[in-house]
Amino acid sequence: MASRRQLAPQQPDPAHERKREQILQAAEELFFRKGYSGTTIADICERLGVTKPFLYYYFANKNEIFETLSWRASHACLTALHFENDERPAIERLREGLHRFAAANIHFFKSGTFAYREAGALQPAFTRRLKAMARRFYDELCALLEQARADGELDFHDARLTGLAIGSIAGFMYTWYKPDGRLPPHEMVQELTGILLRIAGAETAPRAKTRKARSTGSKTTKRRQQ
C-alpha cells in the first residue's frame, strides 16, 4: 500500500525551477538574435558558463527549450481573452482581455515571435496544439466584439477582419519595441490597449475627451473676456 508521502503531489523544487529559468532566459536571447538553426547547445552553455551535462539535466534537447519558450509566450498571449463564467458586459471583458493581450506581448516580445518566425523548428503535434489555441483566441475575440457592438459600445463593420487586425499588431513588435525605450513597459501596455480598442471602434479615450473639454472651456472663457 502506498504511503501518504508517495500519494501526495510533489511540490516543485524552487532551485530546480530557477535553474531551468536561467537556461530559458539565456536561450531566448540567443534564439531571438541568431535564430533556431544559428543557435547551438554549446552557445547556450557558453552564455551560461555551464557544461552540456548540466543543461541536459533540465532539458532533453534544443527543441524542448525552444518549444517551452514558444508555448509559454503563445499561451500567455492567446488565452488573454478567455473568461470563465464571467457575466460582466462584453466591453468590460474586452478591455481587460486586450490589456492582458498587450501586456503578454510586451513581456514576451522576443519569444512571442518564435512560433511564426521559426515555424519549421516546431514539431507537428506542437503546431496543431498552437493552431487550436489560436483558433479559440479569435473565436473568443470575435464573440466579444460582436456582443459589444450589439450593446452599442463598438463601431466596426467586419468582426473577423477587426479581430485579425487586433491580433496582428504583435506580428512586427520585435522590429521596433525596446524595453528601455521612450515609454516604460507599463505605459506601453496602456498605449497599446488604447490602440487596440480604437481598432475595435471603441469611443475616444476619456483623457482625449478631457483635453477637448478643457480646450472648449478655454475658448469659451476667452470669448467671455473679450
- 91 and 32 belong to one structural domain: no
Is 196 a domain residue?
yes
Domain that holds residue 184: 62-206
Give the pLDDT of residue 104: 96
Is 145 a domain residue?
yes
CB 109 within 8 A of CB 173: yes
Residues 152-189 pLDDT 10s: 999 999 999 999 999 998 778 888 888 899 999 999 99
Q: Which residues contact 99 (CB under 8 A, 6 or more apart)?
A: 189, 190, 193
The whole-chain average pLDDT of the chain stands at: 88
Structural domain count of the chain:
2
At 98, which CATH number? 1.10.357.10
- 104 and 20 belong to one structural domain: no
Residues 191-213 pLDDT 10s: 999 999 999 999 754 444 444 44
- 51 and 110 belong to one structural domain: no
Read off the C-alpha cell for 77: 498571449
CB 52 within 8 A of CB 31: no
Residues 111-143 pLDDT 10s: 999 998 999 999 999 999 999 999 999 999 999
